[in-house]
Amino acid sequence: MDERILIVFDLDETLIHSTLNESDRPADFMFREHYVYVRPHLNTFFKKSNEHFDFAIWTNGGEAYTCDILKKIIPSFIGLRFVWPKSMFVNGVPQTLDTLRAPKNLRRLIVNGFEPSKVLIVDDNPDDSVIEFGNVIQLHPYRGQTDDCELLLLLKYLEKVLFLKDTRSIKHVSWRTEVS
């Protein structure tokens, strides 16, 4: 596998906010009846980090929703390593409702050939991620605010972890204070 760190992003409340109720500002775009707001600085984040990191999406969003959203928010120069929506099949078997509610299990990444020491999971909700593996960077949930700077802070933090041999060797819990 590649020596670059793989950043696995959650979608909702991490990279976008999708809601049935319009905010006090116009939506960035619509998905069916949903108003979708893209987290500020997303393009800047990808432009500045693309040279050093690989990216993937692992979301509880449905397949059509996920594909449509990603076509609008992921720049054309970004090649995602994988996109796993909630409809993802595991060993040829569709996930059940219980499986969909289960935490994202890093073991699925391992089975698919990704080295846990080279993975970071960026999510707004650590309950949805694999905390016990020490790979999670928790962002504040994004709810459409225009003054959000989480991705700029994350860029600064990633400069610190870029050359780690093992992403689990430091605790990411206090990542924000390290760059503030």
Is pLDDT of 92 > 50? no
Residues 6+ apart with CB under 8 A from 178: 157, 160
84 or 91: which leads in pLDDT: 84
Which class for 104: exposed (0-12), middle (13-18), buried (19 or more C-beta within 10 A)?
buried
Look-up of token digits 């979708």 = 36
CA distances from 63 to 17, 53, 94, 134, 140 (A): 17, 24, 13, 28, 25
**In a 3-state reduction of DSSP, which class is residue 123?**
strand
Residues 6+ apart with CB under 8 A from 42: 15, 73, 151
Which H/E stretch holds residue 109?
A: helix 106-111
Count of residues making up the chain: 180
How do residues 131-166 score in pLDDT, each as one tens digit? Answer: 556 788 999 999 999 999 999 999 999 998 988 899
Using DSSP bridges, classify how beta strands 29-31 and 34-38 pair: parallel, antiparallel or unpaired: antiparallel
The structure's pTM equals 0.88
Mean pLDDT of 35-40: 98
Residues 6+ apart with CB under 8 A from 101: none
Domains of the chain (ranges, CATH numbers): 5-179 (3.40.50.1000)
67/127 Cα distance (integer angstroms): 24
* Lookup: tokens for 61: 């969003």
Is pLDDT of 36 > 80? yes
